[in-house]
Amino acid sequence: MPVFSRVRDGVLVLTVDGDYTANELRRVGFGAFEAEGMPKKVPVLLDLSGAAGLAKKSAQDIAATGAIFGAYRDRLTGIAVVASADVHGLFDGKGSFGSEAGVKVKPCLSHAEARDWLLKG
């Protein structure tokens, strides 16, 4: 299973390592949101820096990934997506990912940048 979740310093971190499907991310993400002790409002750091083939994902795949977060948009304070610069356009908040997620989205190059943006929220 290449998708992992954890809460670190009040931020829900979802990490994708290798090839993944929207269904895997949905299962892990929904499990994390429903976990006992999860804050009612939480920022999300989606780490796609280790995701394989991200640039080759279809528009439908990107929209489906955003929809996972859209199901919990009332609980999210924002989503920072850590990924390589060549795919930042997929997560700039103006495309299908941001539209489906329904919250503020920012593509970032590092965890530090993502956390800084999320915690300044």
Total number of domains constituting the chain: 1
Q: Is 119 within the bounds of a domain?
A: no
For residue 24, the domain's CATH number is 3.30.750
* Cα torsion 52, 79, 12, 21: sign: negative
Q: Is 93 within the bounds of a domain?
A: yes
Under DSSP, the state recorded for 96 is H
**CA pair distance 70, 119, nearest whole angstrom:** 20
**CA pair distance 94, 34, nearest whole angstrom:** 28
Residue ranges making up the domain that contains 91: 3-114
> Cα–chain-centroid distance for residue 87?
14
| Both structure tokens of 6 | 């954890």
Calculate helix-pair angle for 59-70, 22-34, nearest 10 degrees: 10
Query: What confidence tens digit (pLDDT) does each residue in 12-70 have?
Result: 999 999 988 888 999 999 999 999 989 899 999 999 999 998 889 888 989 999 999 99
Q: Is 12 within the bounds of a domain?
A: yes
Query: What confidence tens digit (pLDDT) does each residue in 56-113 have?
Result: 988 898 999 999 999 999 999 999 999 999 999 999 878 999 999 999 999 999 999 9
**CA pair distance 55, 1, nearest whole angstrom:** 20
Q: Is 8 within the bounds of a domain?
A: yes
The DSSP-derived string for 101-120 is H-S-EEEESSHHHHHHHHHH
Its pTM stands at 0.94
